Amino acid sequence: MMVELQLDGQSARLEFDTKAAVSTMSLRTFQKLLPKKKLLPTNPKLRTYTNEVIEPVGVCNVTVKHGNKSSRGDLYVIPLRVDSIMGREWIRTLDLSWADITCNKVSIDKKNTPPLNALLTEYADIFKDDVGDIPDFRFSLKLKDNTQPIFRRPRSVPYAIISKVEEEIKRLEAAGIIEKVSHSDWGTPVVHVVKPNGTIRLCVDYKSTLNPHLKDEHYPVPRIEDIFACMSGGKYFCTLDVRQAYLYVSMDDESAKLQSISTHLGTFKVKRLMFGVKVAPSTWQKVIDQALAGLEGVSCFYDDLKVQGSTFEETLFRLKAVFERLRKYNIRLNREKCKFFNQSIKYLGHIIDADGQHKDPEKVAAILEAPNPKDVSELRTFLGMANYYNKFILGMANILHPLHQLLHKGHKYQWTNDCNTAFSMIKKKIASDQVLTSFDPTLL
């Protein structure tokens, strides 16, 4: 998490790090930010996550300001090209909380607030608490050859939640999502999940009935690289959450019967694309991609939409274009989960901002704190976490070679000095401040 501070009146971006004892800055950044500031000699040595010892170039005392809070604190300048760090000492002296940091992420000043509010008012209908119906579209499920219908009896409902379950069934029926039928050859039992707010979510266990007999829908899931490329050049970012995504897709009558659910109140055919159907994710991705086709600075990963722009005006223009498409397709957003005009966003395990693509500090911390794997299972878990950031590390396969050898069939699991060296080296690489930028054809 990056935080905006004023250091002796100069704007600076530092990483908010509760695991760092002191605040640090690279010599290069320090000389650009505070060229006339004198450094004093200092004896303390700093230690990184990977136990690497760093000797600071010097230390200076600066005025630190965040919002309306101000204090003085020591800034340690180090001879490495790394991100500036706001450590616990400054966090404590400024009396900052996590809420103080997160509320400062939004980059809208007073002059820009009215246009955003006007846009949200103009498109208030896309934030309604209902489920729309994508016009002129009906989806058909395709069964494999020689498939026989399967009907499973409904599961029993605990007496403690039976009234809430019935309330949810009636709500779905009133919304036109399900419809009671007198007979169905197909029937899948529902699982009753109590949500944190006390309401009920009906989940359907199609893996025991319909899913094994469905033909796949071959539509590609967006590649993470393509999504990040779409975010390139953005300085303002908006995050939009689609409410109950799959339910906007209406089914033809035969497919609605295939999705039928069996409940203690009877059997209901499901008239919208239901959560749990194996082709639902790819089908929805295809639908939302078609709905947003041609819009610049917009990406979608299932029900998570991102809009970016290089200026406030450009981002607002693109946001309005997205709202217009969503209105056209009767798609609703969850207002409580939408965020507008952030300078950085956390997305698919990365932090994206104007500088490019960064590793998520929380995921990095989990990797750095991982102990030496005791067996193949633990090693696979660690390698899975580390490989997620392979794009940031040149020659990663060579570094991890001693660890990959432990995975070979018939190879005795023995943690050697080479394994320990590789383990420490990959942690050091992951802890680095490398940033990925998208391809820029103008540099050719």
pLDDT in tens, 15-26: 887 778 899 999
For residue 233, the model assigns a pLDDT of: 79
For residue 327, the model assigns a pLDDT of: 94
Q: Provide mean pLDDT across the span 153-159.
A: 89
CA distance 381 to 372: 11
Task: Give the H or E element holding residue 287.
Answer: helix 280-291
Helix axes of 361-368 and 376-387: crossing angle, nearest 10 degrees: 150
Question: What's 356-422 look like in SS3?
Answer: EEEECHHHHHHHHCCCCCCCHHHHHHHHHHHHCCHHHCCCHHHHCHHHHHCCCCCCCCCCCHHHHHH
Lowest mean pLDDT among 117-131, 289-303, 420-434: 420-434
Q: For the chain, which domains are there?
A: 2-102 (2.40.70.10), 109-229+243-296+312-329 (3.10.10.10), 358-431 (3.30.70)
Q: Provide mean pLDDT across the span 293-301.
A: 89
Higher local confidence (pLDDT), 429 or 74: 74
pLDDT band of residue 188 (cuts 50, 70, 90) is very high
Higher local confidence (pLDDT), 222 or 57: 57
The encoded tokens of residue 85 equal 């760090």
Q: Hey, CA dihedral for 420, 424, 425, 430, is it positive or negative? A: positive
Task: Give the H or E element holding residue 357.
Answer: strand 356-359
Q: Provide mean pLDDT across the span 307-314.
A: 90
pLDDT surpasses 80 at 50: no
For residue 177, the model assigns a pLDDT of: 92
Lowest mean pLDDT among 65-69, 214-218, 395-399: 65-69
pLDDT surpasses 80 at 444: no
CA distance 196 to 193: 10
* 93-110 per-position pLDDT tens digit: 888 765 455 444 445 555
Q: What is the mean pLDDT of the chain?
A: 86
Reduced to 3 states (helix: H, G, I; strand: E, B; else coil), residue 198 is coil
pTM exceeding 0.75: no
Lowest mean pLDDT among 126-130, 323-327, 360-364: 360-364
Higher local confidence (pLDDT), 227 or 69: 69
* 333-379 per-position pLDDT tens digit: 998 889 898 888 887 778 887 777 788 877 888 888 888 999 999 99
pLDDT surpasses 60 at 207: yes
Lowest mean pLDDT among 83-97, 106-120, 176-190: 106-120
The encoded tokens of residue 83 equal 């991100």
For residue 205, the model assigns a pLDDT of: 87
Q: Provide mean pLDDT across the span 174-185.
A: 92
For residue 230, the model assigns a pLDDT of: 77
